[in-house]
């Protein structure tokens, strides 16, 4: 084999290597070769004092107190603040001359949220059969709420078409129609995940509507029959629920470190404060952007969050760092405690967002 035949391939390999080396020397993140710049700390940050764990804990405590206060404010105000945050994001994108189409989309969404939030502040409408503030109230999740809405709409349609059913021969008379629909109504009603008082209120609304189409005797017969049916079926449902609860209480629960520890206590506090996509997310993201790396708590204790390159976080980076708090809880608080042994005192949220927490106005 002639050695010269291998020269083109070798030349091509050298050319590719030189290209990678050239990009490397230009300090560009190419996403196709390994570079040392993603986690590099610039020399001007060397020697900058880090925030102590005590200062960070005190600052976070202040922030959580403020979140607890804000959690009592209506969701309409939350929508307005989210809109303001989106508007700030669009202005930053405009200054950086990036993504003009995204800027327009973000601003449209911001305006929609502001208008919706402002209009919502002047409304106090509540959906029918959704007021469950009673002594026997219970939690209703999203799927249960959907079931209630579907139930309400379905039987509202049925009762409004009774006269047409009689005219079309669907049932012999109005009384029979109301009896048939009422029995099905009660059977489905007891299956809903609602307090008994709410179910009775729904049944009373059915009676009220039937009173306009039935005479006094027919109305009383319908009321007596359906109430008896409801009490019987509801008693069966309650009995099953009690038996299931007793069975669950009798079974020993698997014990773990997080069941009987400070971890569970912190998670309970997090749930009470709404540490999800709500006031906490808006607070930690918004203040970090508007105060350029500080929350109100961090500002009080003269500490600041910066990226590894020394710059401040944008909206998406701030939101990503907030998500790190959830990771800290998921790791049983170890993600937070690691600031005691990490060389640069990075907690898990700092690792995720590539940030450092430094102390301001300190002697160097």
Residues 6+ apart with CB under 8 A from 56: 303, 339, 347, 357
What token pair was written down for 112?
A: 């929609």
Least confident residue range of 130-134, 181-185, 289-293: 130-134
- When comparing pLDDT for 94 and 351, which is higher? 351
- When comparing pLDDT for 82 and 319, which is higher? 319
pLDDT at 49: 92
Tell me: the pLDDT tens digits for 128-137? 344 433 334 4
pLDDT at 7 over 70: no
CA 145 vs CA 151, 238, 277, 361: distances in Å? 10, 20, 20, 52
pLDDT at 9: 53
pLDDT at 130: 40
Helix, strand, or coil (residue 303): strand
Burial category of 327 from C-beta neighbours within 10 Å (exposed 0-12, middle 13-18, buried 19 and up): middle
CA dist., res. 284 & res. 319, Å (int): 8
Taking CB atoms within 8 Å and a gap of at least 24, the contacts of 105-110 are 109/83, 110/83, 110/84, 110/86
CA dist., res. 180 & res. 159, Å (int): 11
CB 266 within 8 A of CB 222: no
pLDDT at 303: 94
CA dist., res. 269 & res. 162, Å (int): 51
pLDDT at 124 over 50: no
Pick from 359, 360, 352, 363: nearest CA to 313: 352
The mean per-residue pLDDT over the stretch 83-97 comes to 71
pLDDT at 304 over 90: yes
pLDDT at 118: 64
CA dist., res. 300 & res. 294, Å (int): 9
CA dist., res. 124 & res. 336, Å (int): 41
Tell me: the pLDDT tens digits for 212-252? 888 989 889 989 999 999 999 988 888 888 888 888 777 76
CA dist., res. 194 & res. 198, Å (int): 6
Instruction: For residue 307, name the pLDDT band (cuts at 50, 70, 90).
Output: very high
Q: What is the largest CA-CA distance in the chain?
A: 111
User: How many CB atoms neighbour CB 335 within 10 A?
Assistant: 21
pLDDT at 298 over 80: yes
Instruction: For residue 105, name the pLDDT band (cuts at 50, 70, 90).
Output: confident
pLDDT at 278: 67
Least confident residue range of 299-303, 323-327, 336-340: 323-327
pLDDT at 81 over 50: yes
- When comparing pLDDT for 231 and 160, which is higher? 231
pLDDT at 23: 47
CB 355 within 8 A of CB 330: no
User: How many CB atoms neighbour CB 19 within 10 A?
Assistant: 12
What's the chain's average pLDDT?
Answer: 74
In sequence order, which ranges of the chain are alpha helices (DSSP H)?
7-25, 53-70, 75-95, 100-121, 142-160, 162-167, 174-189, 196-210, 216-250, 262-273, 279-290, 296-300, 315-330, 334-337, 348-353
User: Highest-confidence range of 23-27, 161-165, 221-225, 280-284, by mean pLDDT?
Assistant: 221-225
pLDDT at 84 over 50: yes
Residues 6+ apart with CB under 8 A from 314: 89, 92, 289
Bridge partner residues of 307 (DSSP): 355
Provide the percentage of residues in the chain whose pLDDT is more than 70.
67
Q: Assign residue 41 a region: left if phi > 0, alpha if psi is -120 to 50, beta otherwise? A: beta
pLDDT at 77: 67
Instruction: For residue 120, name the pLDDT band (cuts at 50, 70, 90).
Output: low
Q: What is the DSSP letter of 26?
A: T
């Amino acid at each position: 084999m002639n050695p010269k035949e291998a020269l083109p391939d070798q030349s091509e390999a050298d050319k590719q290597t030189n290209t990678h080396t050239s990009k490397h020397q230009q300090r560009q993140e190419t996403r196709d070769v390994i570079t040392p710049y993603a986690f590099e700390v610039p020399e001007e940050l060397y020697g900058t004092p880090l925030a102590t764990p005590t200062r960070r804990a005190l600052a976070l405590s202040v922030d959580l107190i403020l979140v607890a206060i804000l959690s009592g404010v209506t969701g309409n105000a939350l929508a307005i603040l989210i809109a303001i945050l989106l508007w700030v994001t669009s202005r930053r994108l405009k200054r950086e001359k990036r993504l003009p189409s995204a800027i327009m989309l973000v601003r449209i969404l911001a305006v929609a949220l502001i208008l919706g939030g402002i209009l919502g502040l002047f409304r106090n409408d509540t959906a029918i059969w959704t007021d469950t503030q009673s002594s026997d109230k219970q939690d209703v999740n999203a799927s249960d709420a959907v079931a209630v809405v579907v139930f309400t709409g379905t039987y509202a349609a049925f009762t409004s078409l009774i006269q047409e059913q009689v005219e079309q021969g669907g049932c012999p008379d109005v009384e029979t129609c109301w009896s048939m629909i009422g029995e099905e109504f009660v059977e489905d009603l007891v299956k809903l995940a609602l307090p008994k008082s709410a179910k009775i209120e729904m049944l009373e609304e059915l009676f009220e509507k039937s009173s306009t189409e039935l005479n006094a005797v027919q109305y009383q017969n319908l009321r007596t029959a359906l109430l008896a049916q409801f009490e019987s079926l509801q008693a069966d449902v309650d009995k099953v629920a009690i038996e299931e609860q007793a069975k669950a209480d009798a079974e020993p629960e698997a014990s773990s470190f997080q069941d009987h520890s400070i971890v569970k206590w912190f998670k309970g506090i997090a749930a009470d404060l709404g540490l999800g996509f709500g006031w906490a997310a808006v607070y930690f993201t918004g203040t970090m952007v508007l105060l350029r790396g500080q929350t109100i708590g961090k500002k009080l204790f003269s500490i600041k969050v910066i990226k590894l390159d020394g710059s401040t976080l944008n909206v998406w980076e701030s939101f990503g760092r907030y998500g790190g708090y959830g990771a800290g809880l998921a790791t049983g608080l170890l993600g937070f405690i690691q600031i005691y042994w990490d060389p640069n005192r990075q907690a898990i949220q700092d690792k995720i967002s590539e940030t450092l927490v430094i102390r301001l106005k300190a002697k160097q």
